[in-house]
Structure 1
Amino acid sequence: MPTDAEHACFEAGIKFGSLYHQFAGTPVSPASAESLARAMEEAIENQPHCVDVDVDVRTERIREELASSSADYTELTGRFIDVEMRVEYADVAVRTRMEMEDGYPLMKLVGVEE
């Protein structure tokens, strides 16, 4: 049987997979970034055991991408978002983060509190 800590970590992984793959490819612009971030947070916080989600859409990176384009928007990818999440299962809380590392949106475990 998995421990409560292992179960909490598994739940966090499920939430990250859902967040990333549900929203990747969504049209985003500097003007819509904030509302998209709130929608992402609220959608994932609906899931069981998810206590808090904080999505930061990096509008400066979006502006940089749009500077060399004739379009008014781009597609959401991991390079445009930083995410922090807290999941609680039983008496265990896990903190996680997703941020770019070596050109890849890396999702990682930050801490486990029992």
Structure 2
Amino acid sequence: MDSPDSTDADSAPTDRDSACFEAGIKFGALYHQFAGTPVSPDSSASLETAIEESIENQPFCESVTVDILTEKLEAEIDHGYTELTGRFMEVEIVVDHEGVEVVTCMEMEDGYPLMKVESVSDE
């Protein structure tokens, strides 16, 4: 049995594995940092920018695009605002780690904000 300090070339993460992991970290931070934030159609543009700029600060993050769906917000507004959830956002995150680009997105699937890998490419 191998010791905990030994590494096996077959089990060491590849650059592609690490790039995908980094993309997942960005989505976890984005969703769990901003879910529940009070938002209205009037504040949605500034919140989009705040989310994008916040997540872009993280290592290996090339770009973040957040679109808060104001039409859906308007349908849910109660007392002038509602809480931000995945059903009100479309998000794309691009990560570049060691020359591997990962494009990820978040979209609703069966009522759940599913985050998924769209593509992985070696540059």
TM-score, normalized by length of structure 1? 0.96
Q: Which runs of 5+ in 2 are unaligned?
A: 1-11
CA–CA separation in structure 1 for the residues paired with 2:70 and 2:62: 25
CA–CA separation in structure 2 for the residues paired with 1:47 and 1:36: 18
Report the equivalent of 1:72. Answer: 80
Cα displacement (A) at 1:102: 1.0
CA–CA separation in structure 2 for the residues paired with 1:23 and 1:109: 21
Cα displacement (A) at 1:36: 0.2
Report the equivalent of 2:107. Answer: 99
Q: Does 1:26 align with 2:31?
A: no
Amino acid at match of 2:55: I
Secondary structure (helix, strand or coil) at the match of 1:51 reads strand
Aligned-pair RMSD on alpha carbons?
0.5
| Superposed structure 1 runs of 4+ greater than 6 Å apart | none
Deviations 1:15-41 (A, max 9, x none): 000000000000000000010000000
Answer with 1 or 2: which has the greater Rg.
2
Cα displacement (A) at 1:91: 1.1
Report the equivalent of 2:47. Answer: 36
User: For 1:109, which of 93, 117, 121 is the aligned residue?
Assistant: 117
Amino-acid identity (%): 62
TM-score, normalized by length of structure 2? 0.89
Structure with greater helix share of residues: 1
Deviations 1:29-77 (A, max 9, x none): 00000100000000000000000000000000000112xx3x1000000
Q: Does 1:62 align with 2:70?
A: no
Task: Count matched residues.
Answer: 111
CA–CA separation in structure 1 for the residues paired with 2:110 and 2:71: 19
Q: Which runs of 5+ in 1 are unaligned?
A: none
CA–CA separation in structure 2 for the residues paired with 1:56 and 1:102: 20
